[in-house]
Structure 1
């Protein structure tokens, strides 16, 4: 029987990370997949729970979590509503959180447990950096991954950002204006070498599957090509007609995966089985 257990731990600045593990009870020692969500995303967005059940049904423990400054509070896990936490986020805080979850996995399942990491969008950038630096990761999978963190804003916004202390991004679904404090930009500038995704991509020396839709207006296909060019041992798979989230929406009412997201999961399953 497929079941889901919850966990929580301390993340960046002591803020809570909440997560869950989806697994089949008949296979408690199954290999691990860790999923890292993207910007304005969270562990229960859209079809993420259906994806978790898919991999649990196919012999994996699927672990997903909310980054501590994702803006998704524990008492309202279905949307980004903690605007202060969202505003205070930085990429270094996100990497701290990913490491905290990897530490939790190591403590829970042992040092020998290799983790297959999937990162979506901005989470893909985090996963690439982590995979380049952390020997606990066995295989890397990126979905619609960015190739640079500063692709999330326009260069001409930076002067205004520094003078006003914040800029705003729109939540496409709720139309709410969501602030980003200038600490995000300062962190990116001060840790430019560590946060250089393409530089990290060159150093990834584990199997890497790059999946990208060719109808993605959020992260154009050229980003996937840049990542593939940076690491010739990677494998790039184009999903024809797929948008940034492979046909999922939030909330997602269907009990079955969108066809293009199902195709993505099949590609990942084949890759993990090699």
Structure 2
């Protein structure tokens, strides 16, 4: 029987991290999966709950959580509405949040292996953790970026520092979402630490890179860059898939979209294999 439990953790800058755990209590000694959502994403976006149920039915404890400055609130868990929090987010704070979630899992299930799955910017966070945290046993990236600064235009940076903020569009709602200059300042202050391709070269654990070849947000060539940085990683192309593997928000289907089902099947096979 699939069960779901909620948890609340203390996140960056006095914001909370809301998360949930999906599992099937018919299984014992379940490995733990921690899912990290992407930029403008959140734990209940699209088909994330159906994905959690898929892995739970296969014998895994599936944790997902909202990064503390995702802009999602407990009052409105399926939309980004706290634009002040969203604007003040930084990569440093996201990494602290991921560490907090890992601490929680390691403390609660100290004997169970831990695997990371990260989507888009969450994939980049997963790579950084996989390169530097020996609690992580395997890592899977879905549509991962290879450079945090790819999320904005280089020519925006001068105006950003001068004006204090820039705006990015939510493709679904067309809303203009603010980003404070603290994001750029944090990135510039930690350029070496946040070098995703360098971190990729240091990943020693089994790593599966999944990427659609019809991804207009993050080109398939980015996945090839990651694989070139770490030749031991396994790269698999999802033929015809977009950035979110056919999902949308809100997602009303009972079954996973075909491309996302393929991603889950390949991810499960990778986790079950003795790499």
Give me the TM-score of the superposition, normalised by structure 1. 0.99
Secondary structure at the residue paired with 2:7? strand
Secondary structure at the residue paired with 2:71? coil
1:239 equivalent in alignment to 2:265: no
Question: Is the CA contact (8 Å cut-off) linking 1:32 and 1:114 kept in structure 2?
Answer: yes
Secondary structure at the residue paired with 1:72? coil
Q: CA deviation at 1:74?
A: 1.3
State the alpha-carbon separation in 2 of the partners of residues 25 and 82 from structure 1.
35
State the alpha-carbon separation in 2 of the partners of residues 113 and 84 from structure 1.
37
State the alpha-carbon separation in 1 of the partners of residues 39 and 113 from structure 2.
26
Unpaired runs of at least 5, structure 1: none
Give me the TM-score of the superposition, normalised by structure 2. 0.98
Secondary structure at the residue paired with 1:244? coil
Question: Which residue is 1:177 aligned to?
Answer: 176
Question: Which residue is 1:72 aligned to?
Answer: 72
Question: Is the CA contact (8 Å cut-off) linking 1:113 and 1:136 kept in structure 2?
Answer: no
Question: Is the CA contact (8 Å cut-off) linking 2:30 and 2:112 kept in structure 1?
Answer: no
Question: Which residue is 1:229 aligned to?
Answer: 228
Q: How many residues align?
A: 273
Runs of 4+ in 1 over 4 A off after TM superposition: none
Q: CA deviation at 1:114?
A: 2.0
State the alpha-carbon separation in 2 of the partners of residues 216 and 79 from structure 1.
23
State the alpha-carbon separation in 2 of the partners of residues 113 and 18 from structure 1.
22
Secondary structure at the residue paired with 2:100? helix
Question: Which residue is 2:58 aligned to?
Answer: 58
Secondary structure at the residue paired with 1:141? strand
Superposed CA deviations along residues 205-264 of structure 1, whole A, max 9, x for unmatched, are: 000000000000000001100000000000000000000000000000101100110000
Q: CA deviation at 1:106?
A: 1.1
Q: CA deviation at 1:38?
A: 0.1
Superposed CA deviations along residues 176-214 of structure 1, whole A, max 9, x for unmatched, are: 100000000000000111111001000000000000000
The residue correspondences of 1:178-217 to structure 2 (distance < 5 A) are 178-217=177-216
State the alpha-carbon separation in 2 of the partners of residues 129 and 14 from structure 1.
23
Question: Is the CA contact (8 Å cut-off) linking 2:29 and 2:112 kept in structure 1?
Answer: no
Superposed CA deviations along residues 30-65 of structure 1, whole A, max 9, x for unmatched, are: 111110000000000000000000000011110000
Secondary structure at the residue paired with 1:113? coil
Q: CA deviation at 1:28?
A: 4.6
Q: CA deviation at 1:26?
A: 1.3
Secondary structure at the residue paired with 1:178? strand
State the alpha-carbon separation in 2 of the partners of residues 114 and 11 from structure 1.
23
Secondary structure at the residue paired with 1:33? strand
Question: Which residue is 1:108 aligned to?
Answer: 108
Question: Is the CA contact (8 Å cut-off) linking 1:36 and 1:120 kept in structure 2?
Answer: yes
Q: CA deviation at 1:113?
A: 2.5
Question: Is the CA contact (8 Å cut-off) linking 1:11 and 1:100 kept in structure 2?
Answer: yes
Secondary structure at the residue paired with 1:94? helix
Question: Is the CA contact (8 Å cut-off) linking 1:247 and 1:260 kept in structure 2?
Answer: yes
